[in-house]
């Protein structure tokens, strides 16, 4: 069974989705149905509140993203980028085994089903530009600025 919850964040409403044991998806915008929450989603909401308050740098909720094997490889590598740090799409491509796959990394980031928890916002262009973000560049900039402000000094 899939459970869902609306969550009010500084970014606007987020839709949270989970099964009995894992966070499965976060969307920008509300869920289509009334809330049908579970303990995973309640803990997700708590950890997101702490993240947005600058009190949490790592998430401990078990996740289960659905995607291709390449996407899952990228999403796993994204989780190793430290809070408050960024890397380029090319560097990410090198981490997953092929420096020529920077565009494919960007596509995998676009289809990331669990943004924020899988921090695709931490991947930027080689020249320092933001690149893209499925939630919009304003949200990407907000997340990067939040982490820069609250990073370990």
**Same domain membership, residue 146 and residue 73:** yes
The CATH number that applies at residue 96 is 1.10.10.10
**Same domain membership, residue 90 and residue 47:** no
Tens digit of pLDDT for each residue in 64-120?
999 999 999 999 999 999 999 999 999 999 999 888 899 999 999 999 999 999 999
**Same domain membership, residue 75 and residue 11:** no
Q: Cα angle at 52 between 49 and 57, to 5 degrees?
A: 95
Among 120, 123, 124, 146, the active-site one is: 120
DSSP assignment string, 11-73: TEEEEEEE-SS-EEEEEES--SS--B--HHHHHHHHHHHHHHTT--SS--S-B-----HHHHH
Tens digit of pLDDT for each residue in 127-140?
889 988 988 999 99
Domain holding 34, by residue range, is 3-52
**Same domain membership, residue 47 and residue 73:** no
| Residue 24 is a catalytic residue | no
Tell me the whole-structure pTM to 2 decimals: 0.93
């Amino acid at each position: 069974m899939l459970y869902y919850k609306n969550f009010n964040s500084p970014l606007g409403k987020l839709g949270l989705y989970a099964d009995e044991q894992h966070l499965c998806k976060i969307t920008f915008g509300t869920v289509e149905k009334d809330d049908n929450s579970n303990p995973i989603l309640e803990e997700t909401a708590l950890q997101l509140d702490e993240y947005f308050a600058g009190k949490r740098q790592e998430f401990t909720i078990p996740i289960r993203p659905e995607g291709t094997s390449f996407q899952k490889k990228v999403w796993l590598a994204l989780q190793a980028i430290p809070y408050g740090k960024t890397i380029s799409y090319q560097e990410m491509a090198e981490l997953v085994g092929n420096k020529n796959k920077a565009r494919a990394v960007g596509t995998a980031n676009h289809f990331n089903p669990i943004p924020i928890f899988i921090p695709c916002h931490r991947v930027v262009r080689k020249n320092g530009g933001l690149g893209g973000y499925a939630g919009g560049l304003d949200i990407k900039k907000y997340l990067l600025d939040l982490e820069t402000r609250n990073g370990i000094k």
